Each structure stands twice: as structure tokens, then as C-alpha cells.
Chain A
Amino acid sequence: MKFSLNGLYIESYTKCANCGVLIYEASAEDSARRKTHDGSTYCSEECVDWKIDRDARRARAAA
């Protein structure tokens, strides 16, 4: 989530593509953990892994 320069309103919302949690631009902790994968943003490595697992599981089930 990104505040405007003057801090008075929100310019944009960024959420983890897997778990949906808000990722705060101004948070050092969030910035340290975030990951990009396949063009999408994730809050952490765990969520990237989960997404990959899920896709694989669903692919197996479809096959």
C-alpha cells in the first residue's frame, strides 16, 4: 500500500497474489520479505512456494 507524497491519501494498494495480505511500501519489514514471481508480487518466499505447489497439484488433478 503506497501513500501519496504528502501522506494524506493512498495512491495504490499492493497485495500478495497468494495470501492477499497488504504489502506496505513504507514498511522495511514488508520490503525485505517481498518477492516477485512471474510478474506478480508476493509477500514472502513461502507464498511463492505455496502458489507453485497449488498449481502443480491442480495440474496433476486435471491430468
Chain B
Amino acid sequence: MDFVTMNILESSMVSLCKEMGIVLMKTSYSTIFNEALDFTCGLADMNGDMIAVADYCPAQIGGMPLLVKSCLKEIPIDEIEEGDVILHNDPYRGGLHTPEHTFFKPIFVDGEIMGFAVAIGHIAEVGGMAPGGFCGEATEIFQEGLRIPPVKIKKRGKDNIEVWKLLLANVRTPRANYGDLRALIAAVDLGEKQMTQIYQKYGKEKIKETVNDLLLYSERRMRAELEAIPDGIYAFSDKIESDGIDADRTYTVAVEVHKRGGEIIVDYHGSSPQASGPINATLGVATSAAYNAVLHMTDPTIPRNSGCFRPIRVMAPPGTIVNVDFPAPEVGGNTETHPRIVGTILGAMAQAIPNRVMAAEGATHCNFVFGGVDADTGEYFACYDLEAVGWGGRAFADGNDGVDSINGNCRITPVEVYETRFPWRIESLAFNIDAGGAGEYRGGVGYSKQMLCLNDEIICSQMTDRHLLAPWGLNGGTEGGLGATLVMKSGRRDWQTMREAYGKASTSRYSNVSIRRGDRVRLVTPGGGGYGEPAKRDPAAVAEDVREGYVSKAAAQKHYGYQEA
């Protein structure tokens, strides 16, 4: 193996992917793109294998190989021409969920197709029954939004106008969507242009050979990491509350992780049959979640590509909550069920490698989505409000407070930007005291955001979790704090759940609630589970918790036997 060229090529390709992302970030319209960075950019070879990727959103990094390959299985390679850009979001053929749009552009060198530049991004508003994409009460894909099979949004370098017209006619924010689509195309254009130059500089054969070596190198390193984990079969399960339709039913994510030599197989048999409401995960999600969990347990410097994923196999039985069948809904599967799956795999591996896993994190992005007509400007607005949670304690440290869940790595929108864009006033943004699970290492806390509605009407939906079933602790640690969504209607003095106030089946998944001027909404995010026996917590750490206000004196006394000096 020519390690020197391989090293140089790998860093050039990753650098290129980062540059694609910067274009995307700087030109996109949805804050979920440009503030939260919910997108990813990568390169694939002609078989659809991922050969390089930049570290933007973890969910899509793991999802990319299946996404591109699924499209290539349908489109004969000789029907792809130079200057085409292919768009796809279909959850049932390799997709993650309806809002996730995949764009890829072929890279031609001397008339031969060598690979693809890929960009995947979460577009905030996709049509469907609720503005902002997360309709918590959808029962079929047709209600979630526009489903796009692999189509050419650009053909031979020209916009395919008929496709654009269809796309923009079916969303509430065509101006913003146009901007986002242009941004995604600009990203793959840049990727294709620069990768073509790399092929021309080194020569097609040299690149092909070096890329194969690179994938082999990553595979080898991953196998070495996996070898170091004790062989065995490790089982764990977690429960998800309700699906937005059926108020009282819970759903199980079950995993059996088989560690065999240099391989790891994640078997999801035993997981519940799919739900009526949109908490279902697709095969893309089940696969991406397994990759994510394994990447957390292994050396993060291994170059990420299809090679490092080869030793990881996934068994996701069809028609279950981890491999939903058409036409059942799945919009919440990629944001909510996804991190639960990752957490479950980590929970299973606690038996094998307790120092390299952690107690449950909040595992929700809060996903409060809303839309309406701005009373001042008359313009329609839609927003996907994403929030952070507490993370689980680990064998050597407390869980982090207020960080985005494991399948994402998104930034929250600043208050000043939020209020400039949308007719809300945020009255507070504050940590939830006592919301971290107790343990030798405590769980991180989530926070609460309280908002006052300043518009005549804002239509709100949500797809969140952990209102009823708390994040689990590990090795004796206790559960993290629950999340909540509360509303104080104008003129009232009490906080009510969505069930109480609007008759919704679930407090955490619902669609199209009408919030009026003067109403208040409070979003509470869950805390992380604790790790280890609380009795073992360092008294100095407990004193600091109390001094800094993360733990109340009463709770400190109860869990840790805290005594004031």
C-alpha cells in the first residue's frame, strides 16, 4: 500500500467534503441547515460506497452508503449523464425519513463515470399535514409530505424545471425551499468539480487503486478495534412511550449484539411490530444507528468510509419499529427512535466494555415545529425548533449538560435570532435542577425554554419523547429527569399538557395545535441517567453540584447523604 499517497488523498477528500459543507451552510435558508448543521457531505465511488465524508451530521454519515446504493440499484448507470443531479428522499428505499433529501452528482473523467459527490440535508418544510415536517399524528407517508423517488433535478447541467415546479408547489415555504435546494446543488457542484481535478491530477487508475486501499485500511483498523472487545452475545432493550395515535401503548427496541472476532452483528429481532404513528425507523436508520454506536466504541480516528463499516452487519426484521414497511409513517424515526437505538446498543455493550459506554442520554431533539403567517409582514414562516438534552454519566465523568442527542450534532438557535425571525418572545432558557440521574457520576441536565406567542395564531406540532419513560441509569445509577411540553393558555394560571389542553392522545407527539396570542409554551428537555452507585460519588463533587445549583440540597441529601459543612 502506498501509505503516503493514501494519507494525502484521504485528507484531500475530507477537506473537499468540508468545503462542500461550508457552501451548504453559508447559502442555505433553513436554520436546521445553517445553524444546526443538520446535513452531511461526502464522496462515493461508482458502486455507491462512501469513500470520504466530512463530520457534519452523524445520522446521515451512517445513512449515506445505503442511500446512494439504493438509488443506483434503480437507475441504470448508463442512464446517468454528466451534469445530472439526482434527488431522492424515499424512506422505503434507503432513506432515513421524509425531510432528509439526498442529492448526488456523477463525477465523469474522460467520459467515464468514476463516482459521485453527495450532499444530504434536512429540509425543514416538506408539505404534508403539519408545517415544519414533524406531524406527530401522521398514520401514513402521504400525510408526512412529498415523497421523492430518485429523480433528476438537473439534467445535463440544466434545471429540470418540471421537477422544480412540482417540488415547490407542494410546500408552504417555496421561497425558502428554493434557496435550500439551490444550496444543496451548489454543494454537489463544488464536490464534483474539485474531485474531477483530483482524478485528473493523479490519474484514474491511481485514484481507484488508492481508494480501494483506503477502504481496506479502514476495514482493517475497524477489525482490529473490534477484536479488542470481548466476544459474546449482549442483549438489552428500551421502551418508547406511545406513537402519537395510541395513547397507552409502549414499543420495544430490542438488540442482541453479537461480537465475533473482527466482526459485530446487531440483531434487532424482538423489537416491536411497527407503530401506527410516526415513531418508526427505516432500515437506513437501523443501519446508521448501529454504525454510530460502533464508532463511539472504537477509535474515532479511523477514516470514515464504507470500509470501516464492512465488519458491521445489521439484522432489522421487516415490519417492525426498526424497519418500517410502506406506507407506515416514519418522520420521528430518524430523530427520536434513532438515538434510542444507539443508546440501546451502548447499553448492551456495557456488559462487555463498561468503560466505553454511558448511561442513557435524553435521546430526543425536542422537534417543536411550527408555522403561521407573520401578522406584520404577511409572509409565511415555518420553523423546526431543536433543543439539547442531558447526557448519561460514564465510568469516568459526569454526563454533559445540554448537548444535542447522539445521532445529531446540531447547534441550538440563539434566542436573539429566534425572536428576530419568529413571533415568539422567549421568557427563559434555564437548566432543570435535579434533572440529572444520580450516580457515582451524575447524569447531565436538560433545560426548559418558555415562550410567549406574539402572533394571532401559530400552528404547532411536535415529535419528542421521554415524557413518561425516563432515560435509564447504568450500574446502579438512577434515571434522568423526564421531559415535558406544557401550555399556559392566555387568561389561565396553570400549565397543561397537550392532552389536557387540546385532547391529544399523547403529550409528546401531536400535530397542528393552534397556539394563540398570549398563550405560553414551555419545552422541557430530559436529563441523562446516572452511572454507578450514588453512594460512591465524591463528596466534593456533590458539594460542587449544590453550590453550582445543579442539585438541590434536598435531592443531595436524599441521593448522596449530603451534609452542609
Q: Within the complex, are A and B direct neighbours (CB within 8 Å)?
A: yes
Give me the interface of A with B, judged by CB distance under 8 Å. Answer: 1, 10, 13, 15-22, 24, 27, 47, 50, 54
Q: Are A20 and B283 in contact (CB under 8 A)?
A: yes
B71-115 Cβ-contact flags toward A at 8 Å (1 or 0): 001100000000000000000111000000000000000000000
CB contacts under 8 Å to A, within B302-323, are 313-318, 322-323
Q: Are B93 and A1 in contact (CB under 8 A)?
A: yes
Q: Are A20 and B70 in contact (CB under 8 A)?
A: no
Overall SS of chain A's interface: loop
Determine the chain B residues whose CB is within 8 A of the CB of A20 once the complex forms: 283, 286, 314-318, 322-323
Give me the interface of B with A, judged by CB distance under 8 Å. Answer: 70, 73-74, 92-94, 267, 269, 283, 286, 313-318, 322-323, 325-326
Q: Given that A15-B323, A20-B286 are contacting pairs, would A54 and B269 also be in contact in the complex, using a CB cutoff of 8 Å?
A: yes
Q: A20-B315, A47-B315 are in contact. List 18 more A-B contacts (CB 8 A).
A: A10-B326, A13-B92, A13-B325, A15-B283, A17-B317, A17-B318, A18-B317, A19-B313, A19-B314, A19-B315, A19-B316, A20-B283, A20-B316, A20-B317, A20-B322, A22-B94, A24-B74, A50-B315
User: Mind listing 21 A-B residue pairs with CB under 8 Å?
Assistant: A1-B93, A10-B326, A13-B92, A13-B325, A13-B326, A15-B325, A17-B318, A19-B313, A19-B314, A20-B316, A20-B322, A20-B323, A21-B283, A22-B70, A22-B93, A22-B94, A27-B73, A47-B315, A50-B267, A50-B315, A54-B267
Q: Are A18 and B73 in contact (CB under 8 A)?
A: no
Closest chain A residue to B92 by CB distance? Answer: A13
Determine the chain A residues whose CB is within 8 A of the CB of B313 once the complex forms: 19
Determine the chain B residues whose CB is within 8 A of the CB of A27 once the complex forms: 73
Determine the chain B residues whose CB is within 8 A of the CB of A47 once the complex forms: 315
Closest chain B residue to A15 by CB distance? Answer: B318
How near does chain B come to A31, taking the closest CB pair, in angstroms?
A: 12
CA distance A29 to B404 in the complex (A): 41
Closest chain A residue to B283 by CB distance? Answer: A20
Closest chain A residue to B324 by CB distance? Answer: A20
Determine the chain B residues whose CB is within 8 A of the CB of A1 once the complex forms: 93
Determine the chain B residues whose CB is within 8 A of the CB of A15 once the complex forms: 283, 318, 323, 325
Determine the chain B residues whose CB is within 8 A of the CB of A22 once the complex forms: 70, 93-94, 283
Q: Given that A1-B93, A27-B73 are contacting pairs, would A18 and B323 also be in contact in the complex, using a CB cutoff of 8 Å?
A: no
Closest chain B residue to A18 by CB distance? Answer: B315
Determine the chain A residues whose CB is within 8 A of the CB of B92 once the complex forms: 13
Closest chain B residue to A46 by CB distance? Answer: B313
Determine the chain B residues whose CB is within 8 A of the CB of A50 once the complex forms: 267, 315
Determine the chain B residues whose CB is within 8 A of the CB of A19 once the complex forms: 313-316
